[in-house]
Amino acid sequence: MHNYTLIFRPHLIRLSETCREKMHYTQEKMAESLHISARAYNNVKRDRQSLSASTLIFLLLMLSEEEVLAFLREMRTLVEREQPDGYDAIYEDTLEIG
């Protein structure tokens, strides 16, 4: 099983910081918007902690539909680069876990 967290994490950090700067939020306000503590946000920003699924959802809700689609396209490109066999191989890996 491939560790996609290591691939996605820098992109998620960049996305959260870009969003924060675009909205002119302090780190504290951004943490509040993501429903996490300021300390947790700082840990995410410093690559000490990953975003939880619920935090990722709150981050995506802060974006426009176009920004979400652009982000998902970027993630798809990363996965395709890492998984040349395509999504069938990812699905098969998931079936082995479940």
pLDDT bracket for residue 1 (50, 70, 90): very low
pLDDT bracket for residue 23 (50, 70, 90): very high
| Domain spans of the chain, in order of start | 4-97
Any idea which architecture 4-97 has in CATH?
Answer: Orthogonal Bundle (1.10)
Q: How far apart are CA 75 and CA 81, in angstroms?
A: 10
Express each pLDDT in 27-77 by its tens digit. Answer: 999 999 999 999 999 999 898 888 899 999 999 999 999 999 999 999 988
DSSP-derived letter for residue 86 is -
Q: Is the backbone of residue 26 left (phi > 0), alpha (psi -120 to 50) or beta? A: beta
